[in-house]
Amino acid sequence: METNDPKLAAFRVGDLQRRKGARDAAASPKAGELLRSYSFLEKLLESDEAAVEQFQGLCQSTCRSLDASLRHQEDPRLAAMGQAALAAYGQSLKLFAELLEIKYTRLNEQAGQR
């Protein structure tokens, strides 16, 4: 086949994964289902509140260190790396807060059914 082969015209990223997924289920994945393959997040969500708070505190401590290092950073590349790292923590902690909310909503629903 040549470059730009028309046989590839319909190919899009994820086609292989979609083909496999179609065999299993038609519904789009939900966060709870995806967590089956996210061992650390799953373990963290199953931990008690004290352990969760301890881990969140660890992340916040790292963020404070990153922030402090940025204040004195004169190298623009290192400053950009530090900002990127802080953004990663921000997005990850935000996602985790959403997951925690889902967990507690479900727990409340289960408690209400009893």
Partner 1 sequence: MSNETKKLSVKPSQDELHFLLESGYLCRDLGRHQEAADIFQGAAALLPDDPLPVAALGGVLLASGQADAAVGCLEKGLADFPGDPFLKAHLAEALLCRKELPRAEELFHQALAADPQGPAGQMARPYLEMIKELKAR
CB of 44 to partner 1, least distance (A): 7
CA distances (Å), origin 24, targets 43, 66, 108: 25, 43, 30
110 near partner 1 (CB under 8 A): no
Q: Which is nearer to partner 1, 81 or 103 (CB)?
A: 81
Closest by Cα among 40, 36, 34, 45 to 98: 45
Q: Angle at the Cα of 81 (from 75 to 86), degrees rounded to 5?
A: 125
Instruction: Report 19-78 residues binding partner 1 (CB under 8 A).
Output: 29, 31, 34-35, 38-41, 44, 55, 58-59, 62, 65-66, 69, 75, 77-78
CB of 84 to partner 1, least distance (A): 4
Scanning the structure block, which residue is given the tokens 């408690």? 111
Given a contact cutoff of 8 angstroms between Cβ atoms, the answer to whether 70 and 83 are in contact is yes
Query: 83 CB contacts (<8 Å, ≥6 apart)?
Result: 70
Convert residues 80-99 into a mask of x (bound to partner 1 by CB under 8 A) and - (unbound).
xxx-xxxxxxxxx-xxx---
Binding site for partner 1 (CB under 8 A): 1-5, 7-9, 11-14, 16, 29, 31, 34-35, 38-41, 44, 55, 58-59, 62, 65-66, 69, 75, 77-78, 80-82, 84-92, 94-96
